[in-house]
Structure 1
Amino acid sequence: MGCRIREFSAKLVLVGTIILLIFIGLDNFNTQLALASIRQMEEAPRQILIQSRHTLQDEQGDSWQVVLFKRFFADGSTIINLRLVDFPGKADFAHPQPLQVSTNKGDLFEAEDMFAQKSPAPNVGQFDVKDILSQLPITKLNLSLGMKGDRSTNLSIPPEVVLEWKSVATQS
């Protein structure tokens, strides 16, 4: 009798472990699908917008909307910008200040502040990354955002997001 109880308990633990592993695997699968967030839309005739959208947290745990977009204009010109948005009242960008992008190896890149003259809101920054994006390695990046009051906020960008940005940049 005791042997049957042990066998039943062992089978129950085995089934429970398998079910748990399946759920963990499904959760990881959904997370990976969420990373692929490239959208394309026609804003006007012959004007196309392709964007990569993510919500990432800074070192204080505040959530930021991180949107890299490539806009194709009717005349054939393009722009590639990175827009960063925090909740109103949480962060105020110090315009004009370039975005500083650093790698783990210590490489430093700068992107021009597109809202140097006027920002739609204090919590919104937009930067021209067209010239630096092709130079960035597909590794974790750190964005240093200049804030009012001589402060800065840091955002860590995962390699998967950098790869997605490069994919957006190469689309034609």
Structure 2
Amino acid sequence: MKKINKIGILVLVFFSLSLAQPKGAIAHLQEHHQQSGQLSLHSRQTLRDRAGYAWQVVLFPGESPSDPRWNLRLVGFPGAVEVAHPQPLTIRAAEGMDWSAADVFRDRPPAISVGQYDFTEVMQHLESVDFLIVQVPLSEDRTLSLKIPPFLIAEWQQLARSKSSPERSHSPHPSK
């Protein structure tokens, strides 16, 4: 009987540990129908800051097939953060590269916890970075750092490739 209990406990411990292990991230690109009726793909993930607040991180291409721009929208926890407008976003790569992304919303954000930035220049260098640190300008001259992990960089790379692919990029009808 003791041997059966020990085996049961070992199975339970093994099962619990297997659930606790991080799984490989799968790119999860989402389709979005724009006002023009065209289909666009975007990346949407939730990341947590050091205080434990969730941030929605959304990367999406410009509004038309000929628009080369990329936008990064950061949505913070309402009431917990106030994004400083029109301050630029600062981006740092582990490989020593730094960028600045202009505030797209400037003085008219949809909410005080929302920022959107022109991410076009950074997208041109994604193939050569492992992870990014995004420094979000907050009110009262504060900044908040969000780490963009490797799985999300890979998802963004996939998104960039899909935009340049003529069969997927901005087709008027999604393929089913």
Identity of aligned residues (%): 31
How far apart, in 2, do the equivalents of 1:170 and 1:25 lie? 33
Which residue of the other structure, out of 2, 9, 14, is the alignment partner of 2:7? Answer: 14
Give TM-score, length-normalised by structure 2.
Answer: 0.78
Alignment coverage as a number of residue pairs:
162
How far apart, in 2, do the equivalents of 1:24 and 1:71 lie? 43
Q: Which runs of 4+ in 1 moved over 6 A?
A: none
| Contact 2:109/2:115 (<8 A) preserved | yes
Matches within 5 A, 1:60-71: 60-71=51-62
Name whichever of 50-59 and 105-114 sits farther off.
105-114
Give TM-score, length-normalised by structure 1.
Answer: 0.80
Number of the residue aligned with 2:88 = 98
Higher relative contact order (CA 8 A, sep 6+): 2
How far apart, in 2, do the equivalents of 1:46 and 1:24 lie? 47
Q: What are structure 1's unaligned runs of at least 5 residues?
A: 1-7
Shift of 1:23: 4.6
Q: Which one has a larger percent strand, Structure 1 or Structure 2?
A: 1
Number of the residue aligned with 2:30 = 39
Which residue of the other structure, out of 25, 49, 55, is the alignment partner of 1:58? Answer: 49
Number of the residue aligned with 1:81 = 71
Question: Which structure has the larger Rg?
Answer: 1
How far apart, in 2, do the equivalents of 1:107 and 1:40 lie? 31
Secondary structure of the residue aligned to 1:36 is coil
Q: What are structure 2's unaligned runs of at least 5 residues?
A: 164-176
How far apart, in 2, do the equivalents of 1:72 and 1:118 lie? 19
Shift of 1:67: 0.8
Q: Which one has a larger percent helix, Structure 1 or Structure 2?
A: 1
Letter of the aligned partner of 1:100 in structure 2?
Answer: T
